[in-house]
Amino acid sequence: MRPMRPRVRTLTRPAIAAAVAAACLAGTAACAKSAPKAAASGATSTGTAAQQVVATSASGPGCTSQTYGGGVAQLNLTDPSTIVGFSQSESTSNPFRSTETDSITNQAKSLGVKLIQRNANADVNAQNSQIEDMIAQGAKVLIVAPENSDGLGPALAEAKAKKIPVLTIDRTVTGTACSDFIAFIGSNFYGQAQIAADDLATATGSQAKVAILSGTPGNNVTTDRTNGFQDQVKAKYPNMTVVASQTGKFDQTDGQSVMAQMLQANPGITAVYAENDEMALGAIQAITAAGKKPGKDIKIVSIDGTQQAVQDVAAGTIYADVETNPRFGPLAFSSLQAFFGTSGVASKVIIKDSHFTQANAQQALSGGQVY
């Protein structure tokens, strides 16, 4: 039996206002005045920390420095002696990782936070070593984008032993919230996949032979995006059949080669669900090379919302794309401020994602809403 997912609650207006205030580490009057406006305007993928929040976990009080792992030192993030470490999992040649890194870096700079950072380039062993190195260099708190969910045990254990709080973003890690890490901030990956299944059903009239390009094994993103899609198809679309499923490792080159293999083995494929845009772009190349027209002969839906993929949505090559918001900077630092304050941070915070279709893709591109 699959573990039950934690319940979430939508933020109330007072909670949104509080999050806006927390986002302004200096606590200025101008920031306080922005709270009512943010509450009224709702959530966007590019706005303040409060506007980014869709929901938070509903179980228990928020995690604070007093309750985390038996208690850790109070920190002023803007104190020059306080070093915040940021561990990025993959190369910034990936648009998601580039935007995510820029968001963390720019927010730290705007707030006067001293930040050191490392990039593991998809090597979980290197990420462990780099986190340990940042600890040795004096990092007092860590923001970590994990390479996978299970592989960071050594680094997390060292951080815990030295009472260094760890905030995880975009992928979860194995452990217990408010004991092994502060919280997880990321997208509703299962929900993304359900939307993608609905999109593909609309594109195909709910009758399709579907190929799934799944992500890298061993992390919660792949698990949730696979389960969410398959569960939705099973529950709602009996005439949609998954005829092939194979990992493309979230990589364009792997996505292309795997798609080519699946087309050879299953020439009747009429639809593709790609668990990220890089694999979708690789699938387009393979479909074209096979003499078929992507968007016409084979419908494609994807997840991420990168610029090239959204351009393909506007052009009709990809039917729809569900954004994975990489702009974690405001929300990450507001969560750390809440952690070191009195309100605390929930164990799970869901960030706002957009949904790109032919009806809005060009407008989103023109308005600079796409990374």
Q: Report pLDDT digits (tens) over 52-90.
A: 877 787 555 799 999 999 899 999 999 999 999 999 999
Instruction: List alpha helices for the chain, DSSP H.
Output: 13-23, 29-41, 49-52, 95-111, 124-136, 153-161, 189-204, 220-236, 252-265, 277-289, 307-315, 329-340, 361-366
Integer Cα distance of 347 and 181 in angstroms: 9
- Convert the pLDDT of each residue in 21-38 to its tens digit: 343 333 333 333 333 232
Residue 220: what pLDDT?
94
Integer Cα distance of 237 and 258 in angstroms: 25
Homologous superfamily assigned to 189-323: Response regulator (3.40.50.2300)
Listed in sequence order, the residues at least 6 apart from 244 whose beta carbon sits closer than 8 Å to its beta carbon are: 211, 212, 262, 265, 266, 269
Identity (one letter) of the amino acid at 173? V
Least Cα distance to 337 among 61, 62, 44, 101 occurs for 62
- Name the residue ranges covered by the structural domains of the chain: 8-187+325-366, 189-323
DSSP annotation of 339: H
Tokens of 48: 């303040």
Residue 155: what pLDDT?
97
Residue 105: what pLDDT?
98
Q: What angle do CA 261, 265, 266 make, to 5 degrees?
A: 110
What is the pTM (predicted TM-score) of this model?
0.84
Helix (H, G, I), strand (E, B) or coil at 323: strand
The fold of the 8-187+325-366 domain, in CATH, is Rossmann fold (3.40.50)
User: Which regions of the chain are under pLDDT 70?
Assistant: 1-47, 58-60
Residue 60: what pLDDT?
57
Helix, strand, coil share (%) of the chain residues, nearest 5: 40, 20, 40
Whether 8-187+325-366 and 189-323 share one fold: the answer is yes
Residue 21: what pLDDT?
35
